[in-house]
Amino acid sequence: METEIKQVQKVDTGAFANEQWPINDKKYNFLPQRETFYFGVYSGGEIIAYAQTEIRGGIAETRSLLVKDGLQGQGIGTKLLQHVENWAKQEKKCRKSVVKTSSGWPKTVHFYEKLGYAKDATLSDYYYGVDWYFMSKQL
C-alpha cells in the first residue's frame, strides 16, 4: 500500500469511535476520559497561587503549581496541594496523586518529598537536558 504522511489539524479521537479503529477496546478504553480542574488561592481578591490538576483513571496529576514570587515558603503551596489531594480523593475517588519535576528545581523536589511524594521513576537528560522525576503519593 502506498502511503504519505501529512501534518494535519488536531482530530478529536471521538471521531474514531467506531469498529474500524482500535479505540473501542474496553480493556484500555482509550476514549478521552480526562478532565482538568483549576484551583486558585486568593488573598484580598487577588490570586496568589494556582494549580491545574488532570483527573484520569483514578490518578490526579497536578501541573503548574505556582505560588506568587515573594509569597513562597509561607505554607501556601502546601495548603493548596493538600486541598487538591483531599478533593481528588473525596470528590473524584482518586487513589493516587502524581507530579513531575526536575533536578533543575531541587527546592521543589524537597517540597514534594516533604508532602509525602516519592520518586517512582527518573528520566535522565529529558526536557531541557535535565533529569525529570515522576513522583507520586497514595491518597
133 binds ligand COA (CB under 6 A): no
122 binds ligand COA (CB under 6 A): no
Instruction: Out of 76, 87, 92, 137, point to the residue binding ligand COA (CB under 6 A).
Output: 76
Instruction: Out of 41, 55, 60, 65, point to the residue binding ligand COA (CB under 6 A).
Output: 65
Distance CA 139, CA 129 (A): 31
Instruction: Out of 55, 60, 77, 97, point to the residue binding ligand COA (CB under 6 A).
Output: 77
Q: 53 or 101: whose CB is closer to ligand COA?
A: 101
127 binds ligand COA (CB under 6 A): no
88 binds ligand COA (CB under 6 A): no
Contact positions vs ligand COA (CB under 6 A)? 65-67, 72-78, 101, 105, 107-108, 110-111, 114
